[in-house]
Amino acid sequence: MTFSYNLATDTGKIRMLCRDTVAAKALLTDEEIAAYLEMEAGVVNLAAAQALEDKATQLTLTYKEETEGDHSISGPRMAADLRTRAAELRRQIEQDGSFDVTETDWESLV
């Protein structure tokens, strides 16, 4: 399992979008990022969104509401923040028109 952060690569760009930039606190491995890129046909924003959504699910399953002294942690609130970021990344793709559908005139091809 490896960690790299180079903004010249898609892996680095996904790490930047997910704010996963510190090796000691890494949320994702390079191999996981490569898998997300493959699943999302190489679209960086979609791969980052999927990674964030999966981490949100993991947080929801792992952490509940915990308080110790003045410090509290809420898995569901952190997960909601990650899902909001993922939705924003998906919205950017839709707004940019990367997935515009065009009609094909099949008769002209015959």
Residue 4 included in any domain = no
Give the whole-number percent of the chain exceeding pLDDT 70: 87
Residue 5 included in any domain = no
Residue 72 included in any domain = yes
Task: Answer yes or no: is pLDDT of 63 > 80.
Answer: no
Residue 109 included in any domain = no
Task: Answer yes or no: is pLDDT of 101 > 50.
Answer: no
Q: How many domains would you assign to the chain?
A: 1
Buried b (16+ CB within 10 A) or exposed e, 69-89: eeeeeebeeebeebbebbeeb
**Mean of per-residue pLDDT scores for the chain:** 86
Closest by Cα among 52, 48, 12 to 30: 12
Residue 110 included in any domain = no
Residue 66 included in any domain = yes
The domain in which residue 66 lies consists of: 10-98
Residue 106 included in any domain = no
Residue 104 included in any domain = no
Per the structure block, which two tokens stand in for 65? 């509401």
Whether the pTM exceeds 0.75: the reply is: yes
